[in-house]
Structure 1
Amino acid sequence: MHGQLFPSSSPITRRSVLLGGAAVAGGMALAPGLTGCATAGGGEATYPLKFWHLLSGGDGIVMAGLVDQANKDNPEFFASQTVLAWGTPYYTKLAMASVGGRAPDVAIMHASRLPGYAPGGLLDPWDTELLAEFGVREQDFPPRVWEKGLIDGKLYSVALDAHPFILMYNTDVAEKAGALGPDGQLVEITSPEQFVEVASAMQAVTGKHGLSYGYLGDGAQMWRLFYTFYKQLGAEMVLENGKEVQMDEEAAVTALSFIQQLLDDTIATRSGDYATAVAEFVNGESGMFFTGVWELPTAKNSGIPFDAQPIPTLFGTPAAYADSHAFVLPHQSAPDENKRREVYRFVSELFKGSIEWAGAGHIPGYLPVVESDEYSELIPQAHYASAADVLNYDPPAWFTGSGSDFQTYFAENVQGVFLGGDDPAEGIRGFVRRLNALLAKPNPVAKG
C-alpha cells in the first residue's frame, strides 16, 4: 500500500515504474495530443481527465488495467494517472492542489480522511442524480460504506471498496486442531475464551504459535486490532473539536487486556513485527493470522492451504476495523460541466469493472459486483465479504484516518501495553490526553 512519489506533472513511464515500484499497464502514460480536448473516432470530443491516486504494487497494477479498459471502452474521455507516495505526501499534495487551483479532476483518498478535507472546502460534493444516471446509486452500496461518504447531508466520497481487518487461517492446521466445521470452514468462535482454546490447539499442532500478529513499531496494526475489539464491546469514541474525548475506558481496558493475553509468546509472539508475522503464517508456523485483506495475494502466492473470514465476534457485537479507497472530487472553482460529466462516466466504469479489484483482496463497494455469480466463486473473498456490513472506520476528526499521525499517537501510548509491561488504563489515559490536545486545535488543512 506504499508507493514511490512521482511528480504530478510527469507521465508514468516504464522507467519511472521500474525505479519507483508502481507497476503500470498499458494506457497509463499521458498520450500526446491529449493536453486539451482531442477528437476521437466519429468526431466525438475526448476529454482528458487527470486522476490521482496512491495505489502501487499489486493494487497499482490492477488499477492500471481498470483505467486502461475504461479508456479503451469510452472514447468520450481519456484518463491519465498520477501515482503519489502513500500517506502524508499524498494527502498534503492533494490539499495544496485544491487550495492552489491545480486540483486533478478526480482522486482516490481513504474514506477515513474525509472529515479533514470536505468541511474545509477542499472537496466538491458528488451530484447523486448524475451518479445515478451512470448506474451508481445509494442502494448499490452497503449502508455503512455509502454513509461514510456523507458530511452534512452531501456526498463527498464514493467508495471503490472496503478493506477490513480479517482473520486468515491455515485449513490444514485447523483440521488437525479439530477446529474445522463440517463445511470445511473454521468453527464459529463466540467468546475470547473459545478463541484462546482454538489458538492453543493450533499452537499444539504447529509447535510454534497458534496466531500470527505483528505490530511492533506499527501503530496502524495496533489500532486495527484494538478498535475491532473495542467496537465489538459496543463502545463508542467521539472526537469533537473544542471538546474532550468521549471514550469508554472500561471497554478500552478490556480490549487491551485481551490483546495482552494473546501476546504471551505461546499463542502469539509478544514482540513481533508485521513482516515477521506474515512470514510466520505463510511458512505454516501458525494456524491463524490477524491481517488486512490486502495480504490475500501474499497468502495465495505462498501456496499454503488457507481460508479467511471476518474476525470472530468475541465480545457480543459484530464489528471489524476497516477503511475504503474512495473517489473524491478535489475542489475546482470553475469546473467544466462537460468534462466533469465524463468524470462520472469514468468512475462508473471503474465500479462496474471492480470484479478485477476484488482479485487483490478488497471487497468491492459496488454491490452488483459482490452479488454476482462471478464474485461468489472467489474464495476466500466470498467468505469474508460480510465484513462490509459490520465495518467501522476511524472516529471522525480532522487528524484521524489512514496515513495520519493518529495511529502513531496510539502506538506511543499503548505499545508498552502490548509488550505486556504497561498498565492498559494508563496507556489509554495517555492516548486520551494526546487527543484532547489535538481537539483543542483547529483543522490546519481547512481551506480559507
Structure 2
Amino acid sequence: MRLSTFGPLSRRGLLGLVAGGSAAMALSACGGSGETADNSHGGTTYNGPKVDLDFWNGFTGGDGPVMLKLVKRFNSEHDNIKVKMTTYKWETYNEKVPAAVKSGKAPEVGIMHIDELATAAARGVILPLDDVADALHLAKKDFAAPVWDAGVYQKKRYGIPLDMHPLGMYYNKKVLDSAGLDADKPPSNADDYADALHALKKHKIKGMWMTPFPFTGSQTFQSLLWQFNGDILTSDNTRPDFAGDGGVKALTWMVDVVKDGYSPKNIGQDADAVAFQNDKTAFNWNGIWNINTFAGVKGLDWGVAPLPQIGDRKAAWSNSHNFVLLKQLSPDTNKQAASKVFVNWISRKSVEWAKSGQIPARTSVRESKAFAALKEQSILATQIKDLHFAPSLAGIGDVMPYIETAVNEAVLLKKKPSDALSDAAGKAAKVLKENREKYG
C-alpha cells in the first residue's frame, strides 16, 4: 500500500495517484506585477509576457513519457509559456505537495486522483475551480457525467478531469479455447460467467484467481458492492454502508469463487495477473492500465470486455486523474492565465494520453475517430455510465483500509464475509466520526 499524505489508499493509488495543482486561478487578482495577460479569450489563449510553469506529477511508469511528449509539444506551440514537468514516485510526491504549499514553493500545475480531492480541499492544499471551469467554458455536458460529478466537494469543484481508468475483465483466448469455450464471446452476466468457470474447472483450470490484496481485490469488491445495490457509505456520508446486504452479497460471491474451486487459495500479490500472462487462468478483473502490459507479453492471445453483471445492475470501480490548483502564497495573474491555457490544451489533446491506458474524460475526445482506433480503451469506455467513484468526503482514504482488510480476511477464508465486513464497518464508523471533528 502506498504512503499518502492525504490518507492511505489501495495499491492502485501507488501506481496512478498524483497530487498537485495549477496556479491559483480562482483567487482574486492579487500579486503578479507589471504586464498582465489578456483574459478576453476565456482562458483558451494567453497574450501576456513569457512565464515559466512548474508541473508536478507522479507518472513514473509508462505514462510518464506520454505526458512528457505532450508537454514538449505544448511548449513548442506556445512561445510565451514554458512548462517544466517534474515527476516523483507517488509516496515521495504526496509528501512534497503539502510541504511545498506551506513553504510557498508549490508548482503552478499538477494532477490529483479524484478520491484525494476532498481531503486536499479540506486541508487547504487545493483551491476551487468553478471560476476556471467557467473561464474555459467547461460544463457537465463536456465530460462523462460520473467523473464530472465526482470532482465536487461541498458544492464546489476542485478538479478538472483528464481521464478515467476503470476496472475491466481481461480474458485469455487460448485458455478459453482449451476448455471448449467461445474465445470471441466472453461472458457478460452472472449465469454465463458461472457456466464458464464450471467448464474451466472440468478441464482442471482455475478460471479466476481471486486476489485477497488491495490492488484488484478491493476494486473487485467495490464493483460488486455497487452491482448489488450497496455503497461504501450512506447517502449522507456519515456511516459505513459496505457491510449491508449489498456488501455481504458481493464478498460472499468472491469467497464462493474460492470455496467452489474456481480460484486457488492464498494467492500472492499480483499472482492473478501473472497467471493470466502465463496462460494459467482465463479471466482477470484488472484496470485499464494493464492494456499496455498485456499487449507487451509475447504470444499472449487476449481480449478485454466490460465487467460482467453479477449483481442486480451493471457497475464498475473507477478512478480518475484531475487537474487541480495548488494554493499559492503569492499568486501571479500571468501564471494563472497561462495555467488555464495549459490545462485546457492537455484536456483537448487527451487522446494521446489515452494511449497510456486511459479513457479521456472529455466527451469530444472520447467520441473522436482517433480514440475509436484504440480498440481496448474504446471497449472499456462503453462502461462509462456504469462507473462509480469513491465518495467525495474528506478523509475517505482513512476508511478504505478497513474494506481492504475485510476483503483480505474473507477471501483468505479467515472470517465469514458478514463478520469481516461488520468488524470493518465498526472501525470505519469511529474513523468517520473522528474525521468529522477533524475536517468539520
TM-score, normalised by the number of residues in structure 1: 0.81
Counterpart residue number, 2:151 = 149
Which consecutive segments of 4 or more residues in structure 1 shift more than 6 A?
239-242
**Which residue of the partner structure matches residue 103 of structure 1?**
106
Query: C-alpha separation between the residues in 2 aligned to 1:324 and 1:164?
Result: 8
3-state DSSP of counterpart to 2:62: helix
Structure 1 match to 2:209: 212
Instruction: Say whether residues 1:300 and 2:302 are aligned partners.
Output: no
Contact 1:239–1:439 (Cα < 8 Å) also in 2:
no
* Match of residue 197 from structure 2: 199
Cα offset, 1:179, TM superposition: 4.3
Preserved contact between residue 395 and residue 435 of structure 2 (Cα < 8 Å): no
Q: Measure, in 2, the Cα distance between the counterparts of 1:283 and 1:324.
A: 30
CA contact (8 A) 1:399 1:405 kept: yes
Kept in 2, the 8 Å contact 1:95–1:445? The answer is no
Task: State the Cα RMSD in Å.
Answer: 3.0
Shift of 1:263: 2.0
How far apart are residue 61 of structure 1 and its match?
1.6
Q: Match of 1:117, SS?
A: helix
Residue 323, structure 1, aligned to residue 319, structure 2: yes
Query: 1:351/1:75 Cα in 2 relative to 1: closer, same or farther (>3 Å)?
Result: same
Matched residues in 1 for 2:143 and 2:236: separation? 30
Matched, 1:114 2:117: yes
Cα 1:164–1:438 change in 2 (3 A) is same
Q: Shift of the alpha carbon at 1:167?
A: 0.5
Asked whether the equivalents of residues 211 and 411 of structure 2 are also in contact (C-alpha less than 8 Å), the reply is no
AA matched with 2:58 = L
- In structure 2, what is the Cα distance between the partners aligned to 1:323 and 1:211? 23
Q: What is the alpha-carbon distance in structure 2 between the residues aligned to residue 434 and residue 309 of structure 1?
A: 36
| Higher alpha-carbon deviation: 346-355 or 227-236 | 346-355
SS of 2:90's partner is: coil
Higher RCO (C-alpha under 8 Å, 6+ residues apart) = 2
Which residue of structure 2 aligns with residue 408 of structure 1? 401
Is 1:278 the counterpart of 2:270 in the alignment? Answer: no
* Change over 3 Å in CA distance of 1:259–1:247 after alignment to 2: closer
SS at match of 2:435: coil
Structure 1 residues 284, 246: CA separation in 2 closer, same or farther (over 3 Å shift)? Answer: closer
| 1:97/1:103 contact within 8 Å kept | yes
Deviation, 1:214, is: 3.2
Say which is worse superposed, 390-399 or 347-356, in terms of deviation: 390-399
Per the TM alignment, residue 274 of structure 1 is displaced from its structure 2 partner at its CA by 3.4
- Any unmatched runs of 5+ in structure 2? 4-14, 17-32, 35-46
Counterpart CA distance in 2 for 1:67 and 1:202 is 47
Match of 2:223 among 218, 228, 237: 228
- Counterpart CA distance in 2 for 1:376 and 1:202 is 33
Q: Of 159, 177, 186, which aligns to 2:161?
A: 159
CA shift for structure 1 position 178? 5.1
Cα shift at 1:52: 1.3
Matches of 2:357 and 2:90, distance apart in 1: 19
**1:413: how far off?**
3.5
CA distance change for structure 1 residues 200 and 302 in 2, over 3 Å: closer, same or farther?
Answer: farther
Shift in Å, 1:47:
1.2
Q: Confirm whether residue 79 of structure 1 aligns to residue 91 of structure 2.
A: no
| TM-score normalised per structure 2 | 0.82
For the 8 Å contact 1:185–1:307, the answer to whether it is kept is no
Number of aligned residue pairs: 401
Letter in 1 for 2:156: K
1:439 to 432, 435, 438: 432
Q: Counterparts in 2 of 1:331-410, with a 5 A limit?
A: 331-400=327-396, 404-410=397-403
Query: Distance between the aligned counterparts of 1:407 and 1:277, measured in 2?
Result: 22
Secondary structure of 1:375's partner? Answer: helix
Gaps of 5+ in 1: 4-20, 23-35, 38-42
* Partner residue in 1 for 2:50: 46
Larger CA deviation: 193-202 vs 360-369: 193-202
Separation in structure 2 between the aligned mates of residue 160 and residue 446 of structure 1, nearest angstrom: 27
Cα offset for 1:115?
1.5
Native 8 Å contact 2:174 2:279 kept in 1:
no
Q: Distance in 1 between matches of 2:376 and 2:221?
A: 24
**Contact conserved, 2:127 with 2:327, CA < 8 A, in 1?**
yes
Tell me the CA shift for residue 180 of structure 1.
Answer: 3.5
Identical aligned residues as a percent:
24
How far off is 1:324 after superposition? Answer: 0.5
Query: Counterparts of 1:66 and 1:317 in 2: how far apart (Å)?
Result: 38
Deviation at 1:396, TM superposition (A): 3.2
Kept in 1: contact 2:56–2:110 (CA 8 A): yes
- 1:70 matched to 2:74? The reply is yes
